[in-house]
Chains A and B, each alone.
Chain A
Amino acid sequence: MVSPSRDVKQVSSAEPQGPGLSTLSVHAGESRQKPANSLTDPIVCASTYSFENSQAIIDYIEQDQQRGEYGRYGNPGEWVVEQKLAALDGAEDGVLYSSGMAAIVGLFMTRLNQGDEVIFFDECYHRSREFCTKHLSRFGVVTRQVKACDYEAMEDAINENTRLLVSESPTNPHLSVVDLERFATIGKKHQVDTLIDATLATPYNLRPIEYGVDYVLHSATKYLGGHNDLLAGVIVGSKEKLEDVRKLRGIMGAINAPHSIYLLERGLKTFELRMERHNQNGQAVAEFLADHPAVEKVYYPGLESHPYYEVAQETMRGFGGLVTFLVKDADWRQTANIVDHCKIARIAPSLGGVETLIEQPLVMSYFQCTPEERKRFGIQDNMIRVACGIENTADLIQDLSQAIDQATDS
C-alpha cells in the first residue's frame, strides 16, 4: 500500500506548497513503514550495533551509509527527530545534542579556531555568554560583544578574523527582536557565518533560514520538547555546513539519549497546537500586565509599546509565551514576594513547557553577579520573567493578579 511518492519523508518542507506545519510535526522524518510495522518509532537503546560481516563494515565506511555503528555517532531515533526538526525550520539537516548548551558549544568548537573572532549581540542567555568569554578565550578565540540590534556596531566589529555572528531572537529576557534580513545580509557581505538562537521563537513563530541565516539553534528542552521532561539541543542548517559539526559531535560525545529523543519526537507531535496556545497566553498575560497599576514596564514583542514591535510584526507569526515585566516601586524582596505568591506558576528556571514557570532573574540566574554586572546585562532588581504554559488563560491571569494583590498587601 505504500508508494514512495506518498511517503511524507520525501516531501520537502522547502516546497512552498508543502504539507501543513502540523502534518510535518506528526509525520516528517519518519518512515511510513517502521520496524515490526509499529505505528510509532521504536526506542533503540543499544549502545553499539553489529555488522553482518567484515565486508558490511567496509561498505559502511566506503559508502558513507547512515546506519548504527556505535551509539555516540548516532541513533535511529535521533535521525528521525533531526529530519523532523529540519523540516519544521525549512532547513536541509539538523544535528541533535544532549542539551541546548551542548549544541552551541558544539558549533563554536567546530567553527572557531585559535585567533578567530566571534561577535554577538549582548542580550543573551548568560551561559552562552559565559562560555564565550571564559572558555573560548582559553583556546585563543576572541569574543566581541556589541549592543543588541546595533547592526552598525556589529559591522564595525568585523575584521579579517571574524568567523561567526551570533544573536538570539527574541533575546532573553528582554525579548528584543532582530531584523533577520539585516543580520543575514551583514554576514553575507563579509562572508561570515550567522547563527540565530531561536529558542524563544521556535519555527512556528520565526523562520531564520528563509532570511539566509546559516545556522539556527534551539534549546529543544523548551518549546520543542514542550513538557519540561527532557533536555535537548539542535542546530539546523545546510548539509554542507553541518557536516563537520556532526563529525565533531561524534568525537565530543554530546549526543542525546534514546529515551529523551523519543520524548522529544512525541512532544513535537503537538507542537503547532501548543505554540498557538503559548502565543495566546503570552499575549494575554502581557496585555494584562501592561494595564496593571503595579507594573512599571512590560517587555513583550506583541505589545505596541515594545521597541521592536514593528520588527516583530514583520518577522514573527506570534510572540511566544515568555513575558518579562518590572514591578513598580519595588525592591528585590518585594518583587520576590509576588513570585512567591503564585499558585499555578511554579518557581523554576526554563520555559516552553506546558506548565507555567516564573522566576526573578536577579535571584535565579544573576544572583552571583555584582550590581555593576547586572546593570550591564540589563537585569533589574524588580524584574520578573513569566514563561506562560498552555493552561487556561483566565486561570493564569487570575493567578498573577492574586499574587500581585497579596504581595502588595503584605
Chain B
Amino acid sequence: MTTTEQTAATEPSPADRTGHSEDEQAVRRTVTRQYRTRRTVPAVIVALLIAAASIVIAIEAISRLFDQPLGLLPVEALGDLGRETQWNDPLTVTVAIVAILLGLLLLVLALTPGRVRARPLHSARPGVAVAVAPGDLERLAAQAAEAVDGVDHARASAGNGRVSVRVDSPLHDAGGLDEQVQQAVSERLDQLGLLDEPQVRVSVRHRED
C-alpha cells in the first residue's frame, strides 16, 4: 500500500482575542493557578537523593565514631583519591562542570513558570472555571475524526494553539475527506468553547494502489 497525504487547516480565528471580559480573565487565572505544574517530580527526586546521601554518610560517620566502620562507603579509597587528585585534574573539572549544569537545570525548573496542564473553557456561570487537559482534547478530536465516513483510524495531538489530526483512510479516492474531517473536528471543539480556539490541521493517508 502506498499512501499519499493531503492536508486541510482552519485559518486561525482573530475573533475572541480582543474582548477579554473580566469573567474570562478570572477563569484564566483560576485554571492557571490550579493546573500550573507544581514541580513535584523534580522536587521529590532531588529531596530523595539528598535524604539518601545524608543518611548513608551520617550512618558511616557515626559508625566510625564507635570505631566500627560499617563500610557503606569506600571512605579510605575516596580519601586517597582526594589526596592524589589535583584541582586542575580532568576529573575535578568534569565534576565541577556537572555540578554547574545540574545547578543551572534546577534553577531553570525553579524560576520558569512551566506548563499549565489544562485549557480554560468559556463558562456560563460566574465563579465556575471549566478546563480540559490536552490529552482529553486530543481524544475528543480523534473521536470526532473517526466518526467521519471513510476514516479508519485517527490520532490527534494538541500543541501550541493548534490541534493536529492524522487520519488513515482505506479509500482509494479520499478527495475532500480532509475537509470533512476538519469540519467535524472543528464543530466538536467549538462545542467545548475553548477560550483560545485552536487551529485544526488535518492530514489524511489513503491507499493509492
Partners in one complex: no
